[in-house]
Amino acid sequence: MPEMFDSSDVTGLSGAGPSPLAGTHILLGERNAETAARFTRTLREHGAASVHTVGSPEEFLRAGGAPPAPVRFWDAAVWHTGFGGDDGSLGRFLEDWRAQHPGIPVIVTDDAPSARLAVAALRGRAADLVERSDPEGLAVAVARAVAERADPLGVEGSGQGQLRMLVVGAHPDDVEIGMGGTIHRRAHSGWDVTVLTMSGGGNGGDPARRRKEAHRAAETLGARLRMEDLPDGSMVDDRSTVEAVERAVADVSPDVVVVHSESDTHQDHRAVHRATLVACRKVARLACYQSPSATVSYRPNRFIELSEVDVAAKLAAIAAHDSQASSRWYLDEDLLRSTARYWGRFSQTRYAEPLELVHERNPVLL
Ligand SMILES: [Zn+2]
C-alpha cells in the first residue's frame, strides 16, 4: 500500500457519529461460506448496507462492473488471495481490476500475509492487506478505504472528520514544502488536519506578513493553522518546545503526527524534531517529512501518492508564501514538481511525498 496509514488503529468505527461504512455496498470475493458469513456479519454490524459475495475470480471481475440492483456502485471490494494462488496472480488480478474498475478500492485478505504478498499488494496498489481471521480488522480496513477513496476534484470528501493529523514545522512554509500534497489529499478525504508552526519566521521577513501568508497557505490545503512564537534560528529541544507541541497534541489528539526529520542540517528543524518525539510518545504514529535542508541520510520508507490536484494545491500553498518566493531556491516550481515526480518512482505513482516512519503502535506489514 503506498499509504503510510494502516488500518489497525483507525478510530471512529466504534466512536460517536455515523460509521464510515454506513450505507456502503461491498463486493466480497470469498469461497468459504463460513468466512463469508462472518465478514458479512461484521461489515453489516458496522453499517454496511449490503455485502455481495461471489465465489470465483471471474465472477468477481464481472460483478465489479455490474452490481446487482438496486446497488449502483461498489464502495469497496474484498479479494481473497485463495482465489488466485501465488503472489504473481495477485499482481495480475489487481492490474486487471484497476484496468476494468478504476477507483474502486480493493482490500486483500490472506490467511497469513507474507512480506512477498505485501509487496505484490503494494505494487498493485491494493488499499490494504488484512488477515483473513480478523473480521474486525477487515471492517476497519474497508472503512478506511472508503474514507480515503481518491476524489481528484475534492468535491466529495467522506466528511467523516474522524482521523486527525498534526503536522509540525519550525517555520512558515516548512510543512507546505514537505507535506503540502499529503495534507491536501487527506483534508479532502475527510481528515482533520492541523498545521503547527513553531515560529513566525522572523528571520525570513516581517513576521506579521509571514503569519498572514501561513494562514492563507493552510487554507489552500484545507488545514487549520496553529502558530507558536519560538525564536527563529535559535530553537532548542527544551521543555518549553516540548510543551508547545504537547499543547497541540492535547488539543488535536492526533492519530498521526508528522514532523521534520532528524537528518536535517537546520538546527531549528532538528530541535523541533526532537521535541516532537518527546511530546508524541503516546501518539499512535509518528513520521518525518522531507525538508529542503534534509541530508542524504533522510531515508523514507512510506510514500503518499499525490494526484495532479494535490500537487497543484501544494504549489499554490507554497506560492502563498510570496515574501519568500524570490529569495529561496527550493521554492522553484519545477524543482518541487520534479521532486514529487522522483519520489513517485518508489510507489509507482506519478507523484508522491516521502515519509520516514518513526514509530507506530500497531505495526503492519508495510
Ligand atoms: Zn524551516
The reported pLDDT for the residue numbered 17 is 56
- The H or E element containing residue 51 is strand 50-54
Query: Of the given ranges (112-126, 192-206, 311-325), which has the lowest mean pLDDT?
Result: 112-126
CA of 207 to the centre of ligand 1 (A): 14
| DSSP, res 231 | P
| Predicted local distance difference test score (pLDDT) of residue 35 | 95
331 CA distance to ligand 1 middle (Å): 12
Per-residue pLDDT at 91: 85
Give every CB contact of residue 107 below 8 A, 6+ residues apart in sequence.
76, 77, 78, 79, 126, 127, 128, 129, 130, 138, 141, 142, 145
CATH class held by domain 25-148 = alpha beta
The one-letter code for the residue type at 125 is: R
Query: Is the separation of the CB atoms in 289 and 178 below 8 Å?
Result: yes
Distance 339 CA to ligand 1 centre (A): 18
CA of 269 to the centre of ligand 1 (A): 6
Bigger pLDDT: 38 or 71? 38
Across 165-169, average pLDDT: 97
CA of 178 relative to ligand 1 center, distance in Å: 10
Q: Is 299 exposed, middle or buried (0-12, 13-18, 19+ CB in 10 A)?
A: exposed
Measured in Å, residue 204 CA sits from the centre of ligand 1 at 10
C-alpha cell, 198: 513553531
Instruction: Report the interhelical angle of 207-221 vs 308-319 (nearest 10°).
Output: 170
Centroid of ligand 1 to alpha carbon of 267 (angstroms): 9
- State the distance from the centre of ligand 1 to the C-alpha of 169, rounded, in angstroms: 7
Å from CA of 268 to ligand 1 middle: 7
Q: Is 320 helix (H, G, I), strand (E, B) or coil?
A: coil
pLDDT grade for 66, boundaries at 50, 70 and 90: confident
Q: What confidence score (pLDDT) does residue 237 get?
A: 96
pLDDT at 276: 98
Cell of 228: 507558536
**Residue 11 pLDDT:** 36
What pLDDT, on a 0 to 100 scale, did the predictor assign at position 155?
A: 27
Instruction: Say yes or no to pLDDT of 159 above 50.
Output: no
Distance 174 CA to ligand 1 centre (A): 5
- State yes or no: pLDDT of 15 exceeds 70: no
Check whether 196 has a pLDDT greater than 90.
yes
Highest averaged pLDDT of the listed ranges 97-111, 122-136, 337-351? 337-351
What is the pLDDT, as a whole number, of residue 65? Answer: 83
Domain positions in the chain: 25-148, 164-360
> What separation in Å is there between the alpha carbon of 171 and the centre of ligand 1?
4
What distance in angstroms lies between residue 228's CA and the mean position of ligand 1's atoms? 14
Domain 164-360 belongs to what architecture?
Answer: 3-Layer(aba) Sandwich (3.40)
141-156 pLDDT, tens per residue?
A: 898 788 766 432 222 3
In percent, the amount of the chain with pLDDT more than 70 equals 87
Longest pairwise C-alpha distance within the chain: 67
User: Across residues 212-236, what is the average pLDDT?
Assistant: 94
Residue 178 pLDDT > 80 = yes
Kind of pairing between the strands at 164-169 and 76-80: unpaired
Q: What would the mean pLDDT of 103-131 be, rounded to a whole number?
A: 81
Tell me how far apart the alpha carbons of residues 286 and 290 are, in angstroms, rounded to a whole number.
14
Residue 220 C-alpha to ligand 1 middle, in angstroms?
19
Query: Which parts of the chain are beta strand (E)?
Result: 25-29, 50-54, 76-80, 106-110, 128-131, 164-169, 192-197, 224-227, 256-259, 285-288, 302-306, 351-360
Domains 25-148 and 164-360 share a fold: yes
Our separate counts of H helices and E strands in the chain read: 11, 12
What cell was used for 356?
520516514
Q: Ligand 1 centre and the CA of 257: distance in Å?
A: 17
* pLDDT at residue 13 in the model: 52
Higher model confidence: residue 352 or residue 98? 352
Question: Mapping DSSP to helix (H, G, I), strand (E, B) and coil, where does residue 227 land?
Answer: strand
The SS3 assignment for 152 reads: coil
Indicate the DSSP class of residue 230. Answer: P
Rounded distance between C-alpha atoms, residue 199 and residue 339, angstroms: 26
